Amino acid sequence: MKTLLSLFCLVTYLTCALSANGWPVSLDMACNKALSAVACTFEFTNDANENLYLLKRGTPLEGLISRFITVSVAGSPIEYDGPFVHRLPPTKDEFVLLKAGESISTTVQITDAFSIDTDGLYTVQYSRPLQYLSVDEMSELSNGLIMESTVQESIHIYLEDTRVLLKPRGPEETDKVDYTVNIESCSSASFVGGTAANNKGTLDAHKKLCSGIDKVNIGNNTLYVKWFGAFTSARETKVKDVYKKIRDGLAGCMAIPGKVSLRFMFVIFFIHFLFLVEALVLTPRSLD
């Protein structure tokens, strides 16, 4: 009798221990072929005994605009052909409240980002940790620290007649122009195509960027936390290394190839603008 009681207590203890050490957010997946697309449903469940805020960024809850799954056929990975988005640290409106025991689900078409054109057995695996905050931690979001929950969920699905499936869409042909910019130094560049006004604007922005980036003060301050999250010496080293590479690249030779999309050119100008603003904010004096 004592032996049975001891075994019961041991099983109860192990069950409680495993539950306590488990991840607070779990994931269930299901995929199926529907006409000309492959759709996958993702259900996130709060398994904790408290309410949590789940970050939608980098998950299917915001659509397929980041790589949160890997897809392979017969063990061979398929290249991700969807968008890559670089953003500021998350804000409160990017979280969704999951009460204890509640679930939230969404469906995305993975054929929007993966070219599936071979019949066979496919594996779809979730590849990113889930990020979350407790209700109390949400008020301290500005410190940049977000908890992570690892998920190891995958499904297998056999697909046939894949020739009828839609393929990821590339940039529209009407969105392209013949335009090449060769950055020669911090003060000079050569252009192929484009108008005189546009070329002058590009060179002026480049000159100001080169001048401003040297004035950026990388240290433990509010602006640093805004862009890069919580300050640590290791993260500071990485940031400084990236800035050095950017500066070295700007001062050297860099070519922007022809037939680039207008959207890509806008990103280049926008990055120039962002760095210039950062330099002006951190060092509030004229860059001219």
CB-based contact 45:28 (threshold 8 Å): yes
State the number of CA atoms in the 13 A half-sphere of 58 facing the CB. Answer: 15
Q: What angle do CA 124, 35, 109 make, to 5 degrees?
A: 40
What local confidence, expressed as pLDDT, does residue 179 receive?
67
Strands, DSSP E only, in 167-271?
180-183, 189-192, 254-256
Instruction: Write the pLDDT tens digit of every residue in 14-35.
Output: 334 333 447 899 999 999 998 8
What is the amino acid identity at position 235?
A: R
CB-based contact 101:46 (threshold 8 Å): yes
What local confidence, expressed as pLDDT, does residue 81 receive?
93
What pTM does this model have?
A: 0.57
Q: Which of 17-21, 150-154, 256-260, 262-266 has the highest mean pLDDT?
A: 150-154
Tell me how far the alpha carbon of residue 86 is from its chain's centroid: 6
- Intervals of CATH 2.60.40.2970 along the chain: 21-164
Residue 119 CB neighbour total at 10 angstroms: 13
What local confidence, expressed as pLDDT, does residue 94 receive?
93
Residue whose entry in the numeric block shows the structure tokens 């002006």 = 280
Q: What are phi and psi of 107, to 5 degrees?
A: -130, 135
Instruction: Write the pLDDT tens digit of every residue in 122-160.
Output: 999 999 999 999 998 887 776 668 889 888 899 999 999
Q: What are phi and psi of 153, to 5 degrees?
A: -110, 135
Name the percent of the chain lying above pLDDT 90. 40
What is the amino acid identity at position 46?
A: N
What local confidence, expressed as pLDDT, does residue 33 receive?
94
DSSP symbols for 226-241:
HHH-S--HHHHHHHHH
Say which CATH topology domain 21-164 has.
Immunoglobulin-like (2.60.40)
Residue whose entry in the numeric block shows the structure tokens 């603003």 = 277
Instruction: Write the pLDDT tens digit of every residue in 162-212.
Output: 999 999 976 554 445 566 777 667 777 777 777 777 778 777 777 777 776
Give me 77's structure tokens: 């990975």
Instruction: Write the pLDDT tens digit of every residue in 42-100.
Output: 999 999 999 999 999 999 999 999 999 999 999 999 999 998 887 888 889 999 999 99
Question: For residue 122, which of 247, 33, 14, 7 has the smallest C-alpha distance?
Answer: 33
Q: Using CA atoms, how far apart are residues 168 and 84, in angstroms rounded to an integer? A: 14
CB-based contact 107:39 (threshold 8 Å): yes
